[in-house]
Amino acid sequence: RLVFPAPERIPGSAPGKAGPTVLRLQGAFTHPGAEAPVLRDLAAEMTPSSRVGIVGKNGSGKSTLLSLLSGRLTACPGELWSHASLRLVYIAQHHESQMGEFLNCTPLEYMQIRFRKGYDKEALPPNLQPTTLTQGQARRIRELAKKHGKRGKEVEAILSRQAGGKDGRDVLYEVKWRDLTPADNTFEKRTRLKSLGVEYMAEEYDAWMAAAWGQGPERPLTTRELTHHFEDFGLSE
């Protein structure tokens, strides 16, 4: 017996109504090296009330269509659009081959390692990939770090965030400083990150967390929390 968590409500949706579009796919797809597209004239649109099953003969493109809808493949030409609050779960047909370095991990180890930053970086949609800096931008950040960074160091990464300040209204980001130890991590406001030229890191982190959690609360990766989650699916830690 599997107990699936109740999904959070998409803003603008209401029980018994179709609600807003949450996923839209248009275009075609051709496998690399193939002469003809395996899928063409795609026009799929889903709402919170959609319940869809995909049927067809072997080799007709069912798995390819699911890969396009999940963002694992890119329509060409075409586009995939998803609601900012949509949380998408994808289980690969041959999921063992997708496990990679996690194949020998226990369920608890898998969750704590792969999602240690609060989101699954490997599953980020194409439009949420890390920013690539130009040489000029990177040089400016190094110069700002010498003036304003901790011990003159750059911000290497943002690891987490939490509420802070008066009444908990501020968002503080946990900063990993380049070449410094985890014990030197600090929690900084957006204004400090902006003065260091790395406000984009906070924007990226917020976008990644929104993609991972939608409008729902962020869940901790504690053993107790994960064990309770596994019990719903008949798994041990």
Residue 201 backbone zone (phi > 0: left; psi -120 to 50: alpha; other: beta): alpha
Q: What is the pLDDT along the chain (237 residues), one digit of tens a residue?
A: 677 777 667 766 666 666 788 899 999 999 888 888 889 999 999 988 888 899 999 988 898 999 898 888 888 888 888 887 777 777 777 777 767 777 888 888 888 777 766 666 666 665 566 788 899 999 999 999 999 999 999 999 888 888 887 776 788 999 999 999 888 999 999 999 999 999 999 988 888 777 666 555 566 667 887 888 888 877 777
The reported pLDDT for the residue numbered 173 is 92
The reported pLDDT for the residue numbered 218 is 62
What angle is formed at CA 59 by the lines to CA 57 and CA 60, rounded to 5 degrees?
60
The reported pLDDT for the residue numbered 131 is 82
The reported pLDDT for the residue numbered 13 is 67
Structural domains present in the chain: 23-98 (no CATH), 128-213 (2.40.50.40)
The predicted model scores a pTM of 0.54
**Surface-to-core class of residue 234, CB atoms within 10 Å of its CB (0-12 exposed, 13-18 middle, 19+ buried):** exposed
**Surface-to-core class of residue 224, CB atoms within 10 Å of its CB (0-12 exposed, 13-18 middle, 19+ buried):** exposed
**C-alpha torsion sign, points 220, 226, 228, 230:** positive
The reported pLDDT for the residue numbered 217 is 57
168-203 as b/e, with b when 16 or more CB fall inside 10 Å?
eeebbbbbbbeebeeeebebbeeebbeebbbeebbe
| Helix 223-231 × helix 107-114 angle, to 10° | 120
Distance CA 175, CA 162 (A): 12
The reported pLDDT for the residue numbered 103 is 82
What angle is formed at CA 217 by the lines to CA 130 and CA 235, rounded to 5 degrees?
95
Please report the DSSP string for 126-194 in residue order: GGGPPPPPPHHHHHHHHHHHHHHSGGGPPEEEEEEEEEESGGG-EEEEEEEETTS-GGG-EEE-HHHHH
Distance CA 80, CA 44 (A): 10
The reported pLDDT for the residue numbered 125 is 61
